[in-house]
Chains A and B, each alone.
Chain A
């Protein structure tokens, strides 16, 4: 029951929307698509769902040409980032809708729907219309509708995107459990959140400009992004990428800060590189060998952390600081760069060495 894409591509005039997608999705696993907005995640999902025609390549499901099947015969379910439900039907009516063509008797269908509503925690809202529910509840309805049919393919397009932080955390937890009910399905989950990818994904596919640029086990990809682009995508906030140089046994950043070559970089040839640092690994304060003075551009609080965006002489730098702090634009701050945590990329952006755990 695998879904096989071979060199799939979509061209619209001169625009490449998808290009050279070759991948095989196996049932029972959750595939996470990561990529920036417009990287092709949604297009790929819509193509799989039959809502978008592809122009190149092939798509097979279970060995058979999938392209000949119209959307409504593909047994595909989809959850959108907007909360799409039938506004004129009740929660129960919404969840029943996909069962109407399943051949189940009315009573059976209703029992099944109520069970699913219970599972997404909406049993007391079965008679309400979507307009009377909160955003999170609406999305639960949408998820219930997607799950109830036991489709061969389950597509979730950033389902948590428009929810607030708390709900997101909560639903995220629920997902693992909910997805286990669909063992026979190929589940594809698009997100921009690394945390989500790590939590729900069995496989991670990183997309950029219509291509899959890296795939693998999420933790693996996270630790070893094969390029600056991937590193930027899978880290939230993105990595700070600074110019680096190895010469004569010294490792320098921005041609200014110098330190000894850290252990994981020993043995590399001299030359210019790029060094990437996760925001969580940069710290505020001036300690150690590599320190930098920067001017705060923006600072924002996310949960129990503070994100600080700084302009430094070396480049734009993002620092994540534990706790809640208040900075205003223009504040001067010292930051400390830990050279032993540098992801080293060559000048064309390919990974040379990752720091490892």
Chain B
């Protein structure tokens, strides 16, 4: 009833305003109400501009609880308010986070973490081994249903050695374990806040990070303030805000002529324009994800390997990276970015070969080559899908494009109700994160329905092997199998761009694409 009352009040106000306007007009001239506002479009914020950093995000982060989080954009926020046990540097190598050091046993089964001392959560709770244990248990708790539990699933036992020493025993060696701890599974929430029924961590995060949560305006912006008791170096500025602009043009406008200081994502069509702008600095870094087409191998015509292979030759990856991404992406042939140690340099990007594709199609003997390409309705996706249609139609396919919201695409994936979907991966620090759950039989993101025993074996071996050069071999081989099997048509690796105002300094471009706000200084 409250809301009805509220809306009633609002409407009454509206009506009264209307009346007042009418009355005013009947009486005399009315001043133009906007006459006073001839300032520049600045000041999204009421905090002191000198002391505030404003980050522009491409989407409103839905869930601020790192253990429940699935959306990429949420991780941006976590870099302000939470900290992970392990951090990664620009080369994606692990560096200390809340764990100042760690030991891994020879057999790769026992991990001992030596924790930072004197760390407190924003609510005053102490950070210690018990807190880590609490967090791990929380993630593994089935009632919580954390989508990030898989990173910790192999934990057999964990123990609090002393207040600042924490030991984990794994069931079997798990190479990506540490990199998982640099991500959501390693994020430490305040146990007190998590237990407190009155605090909704999804909306009011409580961590140990350099900034503490102040306020959130749903689907608009988030406000943070410097955490005075932060154990590390104090950030350069007092206030931090995240503003969501799902519209890429608005986001850029607010960077160029508004008061966004740095932006997490930029439409490639705007790259040249931003690079020419003297007041904007652009940081570029290879991405770690992959993008392409998910083929439903349970359906015709993609149950036929030759048809799938034909697609690999039908698409012009160079044209795509040039026209859609303005050269801000690298053509892709495997899940591993060219900069990754897992990348197989022998796999070269093929030229577009129409005849070869047509031959393969002919060999396949499949006659009905029509299918629906499901894409999400963003401008770049639309542009890409139209290019793909044009290329594929030319070799003999008959493509119908269907624009469906991302959420609905996922829905269809789970139900297997699609022919081809435009679905990619933002990437993980460890190559396992780009391969296992995507291409191992029946794994979470393997919506293709494809299954290859040899590949499965390789992917499992690669994650249970500790030695990196051995793993590299395995991933090279896996990439070759993937190319040949072609359940997924790799198209490009998107580079990561972070445009910022020229007074923003200290930006450390880690390929995971996350902005670490505490590093930044304002000149």
Do A and B bind? no
| A interface residues (Cβ-Cβ under 8 A, vs B) | none
